[in-house]
Each structure stands twice: as structure tokens, then as C-alpha cells.
Amino acid sequence: MSAPRSVQVFEYADEGAAKADETRIGPDAGLDSSVIDWVPPLHLFQSGRLVVLYVSSKSGMLDILTQLLEPQFAG
């Protein structure tokens, strides 16, 4: 059985609001200095008004998200 995969997109009112939430998330994807163990691996991207969460380690989707959104900021 393969691990579940998920892409979630959060759209903010403006880029500043998206960046404000980005600053609350550490490089290990912990929130406000808490540690969270994500299984499978979590990848977070921010671009403009969007924050995108991808839960998986499939390199094909990671490549697509990186091309579209810029490198991940956490995970």
C-alpha cells in the first residue's frame, strides 16, 4: 500500500498575509516553534497570495510545484 498524497492550496487576501503565515513556519515545518512529525514528508511552498502544502515524497510532483511556485520554504 502506498502512502497517501495530498496537495492543499491556501489562498490569502494578499501576498503580505501569505508571507506572515510563512514566517510562523520553521524549516522543519513546525508551527511557532512546535515540532510536528509529518508522515509522509511535508513540503510547503509560498508564491504570491498562495501557500501550497504537499504531503508526499514523489519527485515528479515536487518538480512541478517547484517550477510553478519557487523552491519550498519548509519541509
Cis peptide before 4 (omega within 30 of 0): no
Strands, DSSP E only, in the chain?
Answer: 6-11, 42-47, 50-55
What per-residue confidence (pLDDT) applies to 51?
A: 94
What per-residue confidence (pLDDT) applies to 14?
A: 97
Do 35 and 2 contact (CB within 8 A), yes or no? Answer: no
What per-residue confidence (pLDDT) applies to 37?
A: 61
What per-residue confidence (pLDDT) applies to 18?
A: 95
Residue ranges per structural domain of the chain: 6-69
What per-residue confidence (pLDDT) applies to 1?
A: 46
List, for the chain, all residue ranges whose pLDDT scores fall below the cut of 50: 1
